[in-house]
Amino acid sequence: MMSNSPGQRMKIGDFLLRRLKEAGVRHLFGVPGDYNLELLQQLQDTGALKWIGTCSELNASYAADGYARLNGLGALLVTNGVGPLAAINGVGGSYSEHVPVICISGSIPLRSIDRGLGMHHTMADGSFNHFLEAYAHVTAAQARLTPRNAVIEIDRLILTAWREKLPVYMELPSDIAYLDIEVPTDPLVLADPQSDPERLRSCIAAIAERLSAAASPAILVDADADRFGVAPELMKLGEKLQAPVAVVVAAKAAIDETFAHYLGVYNGKASEPQVRKAIEASDCLLAVGYRPIEVTTGDFTASLPVHTIHARGHSVDIGDDNYQAVTLKEVLTGVIDAVPRVTNRARRQVGEAVAAAPANGDASAQLTQAAYWQAMQGYLREGDVLFVDNGTAFTLFGLKFPPKCTLVGSVNWGSIGYSVGALLGALTAAPERRHILFVGDGSFQVSAQELSTILRHDHKPVIFLVNNGGYTIERGYLGKDEAYNDIANWSYADLPKVFRRDTSARSFVAKTNGDLQKALSASNDTMIFVESIMDRYDALAPIINSGNKGADLDYGPRGPQCRDNQLQPV
């Protein structure tokens, strides 16, 4: 890429947009500002990308993340200081969740830095590096572009994001976007560096030998399997070895749940017994991208076999050996070829899925969480993109997904409101799929304005919002009846009309089973917005239990949760 190929002259801004496009980024999210308008003008004049203006930079960062989940790479454009700091929570989430997002800040002119001129959107303290330094903590690479480094840095940052599956941060000073520099004519090629041949060979041989000799091999998948795009390889391997494949909750839906060797969700002691046994008693477990936290390990009760092989994006641990310069896809492809096909392994018993039944009970009965989620199980269909925010919406993790579904969530980072911005991004990346959002009233209130952008672009998602008067999941931690867990009671179902006067969205308010059934039978040719009214104490036992346990961990034995101030399972 930075080859000796003949160059051409191009404006720095145009070159940046060209590189983004070559990397597969077709849309840019963000908010205009004086320090980035010049790049927006270049975008407008060249038509290189489509601009999707958002209501806030935080939502832009969520949208770029949601876009990257489906597209492989996403980008946002913000304006100096105020923009990057508004977006940093979302970019931090991309870092935590391993999502490649390019955050571009149109920044103060190089002229001002050279001359030490104080400018607006800065701390007015003579330092111009605050935001680069802040982003050093939440990105894999950062740079301020100059006419000298632009070609190298633009390519380095885009490639780093894509290869590491992590966000990067770039400052484009506003007075250089229109300057001509010499740039390569060759397109940017997104590719991993080739593995070291000897390391790759030895690594494949070591894994294949162990898996072939094992009586009960198994595979455990975390989110990186999705980010590095190796789910098909893992299923092939599971099939060839007749080995069960389990996921941790952060990787729910990464493996097709209708796959014959799909085992279920492994979550330590909280797992189904057959899942726990297959993973913990495996004599050769291959774990992919495993990053344990309390939520994915049944509160640290996970216990992987001592000799677990840990494969990551670019390295593998096998016993005492650590293999560097090996890429996950090449490793897995090699292992699939190297292991013999197994045809006679005793089939493991796979847990029964929740029955796909319609909401039960009397049509006039008040809607409960139990009936709601049973109805949702029946509503899901092949190929859906599902979004889950924090809260009782986590009940979605307990449903069985039809084939080819994608789940967009944020299990590690868990910032409320993420799902609404991510929905905009994913709709932009893959408008042909059906997108379904599961969100609580509290989470929705954080990023509700972005519903207007979704309506503005004529998207047709299904939005299931639970109105339970506040932060129910938090009541299971602390403050069952405290006012700090209450929120204002919006007229949610009216919002499509508020955000777009001529909307064709179908809005429903469901108070009973019958109301919900009516909403579920609406066709998907326009946005469907379903506000379901539920009791503020209503949550399924696993949700409440996780809050109760979380409180013990968070506050310790002398914490305030001991004062009978906690929602408890009934």
Contact positions vs ligand TPP (CB under 6 A) = 389-393, 414-416, 440-443, 466, 468, 471-474
* Minimum gap (Å) between residue 505 Cβ and ligand TPP: 21
534 CA to centre of own chain: 27
Buried residues in 247-268 as b, exposed as e (16+ CB within 10 A):
bbbbbbbbbbbeeebbbbbbbb
* Minimum gap (Å) between residue 534 Cβ and ligand TPP: 8
* Minimum gap (Å) between residue 392 Cβ and ligand TPP: 3
Residue 22 neighbours by CB distance under 10 Å? 17
CA dihedral angle for residue 113, residue 117, residue 121, residue 126, rounded to 10 degrees = 80
Binding mask 439-478 for Mg ion (x = CB under 5 A): -xxx-------------------------x---x------
Active site residue 502: no
Helix ranges, 361-499 (H): 369-379, 418-429, 441-447, 450-456, 472-475, 495-499
Partner that binds at residue 408, options ligand TPP, Mg ion, none, CB closer than 5 to 8 Å by kind: none
Active site residue 414: yes
Query: Which one from 120, 137, 307, 457 is the annotated catalytic residue?
Result: 120
Binding mask 472-511 for Mg ion (x = CB under 5 A): x---------------------------------------
Q: Are 284 and 307 in contact (CB under 8 A)?
A: yes
| CA atoms of 565 and 545, how far apart (whole Å) | 14
Q: Which long-range contacts (CB under 8 A, 24 or more apart) does 317-322 make?
A: 318/203, 318/206, 318/207, 318/210, 321/206
User: Binding to Mg ion (CB under 5 A): which residues in 390-449?
Assistant: 440-442
Q: Which is nearer to ligand TPP, 169 or 471 (CB)?
A: 471
* Minimum gap (Å) between residue 535 Cβ and ligand TPP: 11
Q: Are 387 and 423 in contact (CB under 8 A)?
A: yes
Q: How many residues bind Mg ion (CB under 5 A)?
A: 5
Active site residue 482: no
Query: Which one from 80, 468, 485, 513 is the annotated catalytic residue?
Result: 468
Active site residue 457: no
Q: Which is nearer to Mg ion, 164 or 441 (CB)?
A: 441
| CA atoms of 488 and 510, how far apart (whole Å) | 19
Phi, psi of 292 (to 5 degrees): -65, 135
Partner that binds at residue 465, options Mg ion, ligand TPP, none, CB closer than 5 to 8 Å by kind: none
By the 10 Å C-beta count (0-12 exposed, 13-18 middle, 19+ buried), 125 is classed as exposed
Q: Which is nearer to ligand TPP, 271 or 472 (CB)?
A: 472
Q: Which is nearer to ligand TPP, 262 or 464 (CB)?
A: 464
Q: Which is nearer to ligand TPP, 110 or 436 (CB)?
A: 436
Active site residue 120: yes
Binding mask 98-117 for Mg ion (x = CB under 5 A): --------------------
Partner that binds at residue 271, options Mg ion, ligand TPP, none, CB closer than 5 to 8 Å by kind: none
Residue of closest CB approach to Mg ion: 440
Partner that binds at residue 414, options ligand TPP, Mg ion, none, CB closer than 5 to 8 Å by kind: ligand TPP
Q: Which is nearer to ligand TPP, 296 or 415 (CB)?
A: 415
Active site residue 34: yes
Active site residue 57: yes
Q: Are 10 and 180 in contact (CB under 8 A)?
A: yes
In angstroms, the Cα distances linking 157 to 1, 148, 162, 516 are 13, 15, 9, 47
Query: Which one from 57, 155, 257, 538 is the annotated catalytic residue?
Result: 57
Query: Which one from 441, 450, 515, 531 is the annotated catalytic residue?
Result: 441
Q: Are 529 and 494 in contact (CB under 8 A)?
A: no
User: DSSP state, 524?
Assistant: S
* Minimum gap (Å) between residue 191 Cβ and ligand TPP: 36
Q: Are 170 and 157 in contact (CB under 8 A)?
A: yes
Q: Which is nearer to ligand TPP, 77 or 411 (CB)?
A: 411
Q: Are 420 and 452 in contact (CB under 8 A)?
A: no
Q: Are 20 and 49 in contact (CB under 8 A)?
A: yes
User: DSSP state, 486?
Assistant: B
* Minimum gap (Å) between residue 447 Cβ and Mg ion: 14
Enclosing H/E stretch for 62: helix 57-71
Q: Which is nearer to Mg ion, 254 or 437 (CB)?
A: 437
Active site residue 432: no
Binding interface with Mg ion (CB under 5 A): 440-442, 468, 472
Q: Which residues are catalytic?
A: 34, 57, 120-121, 414, 441, 468, 470, 474
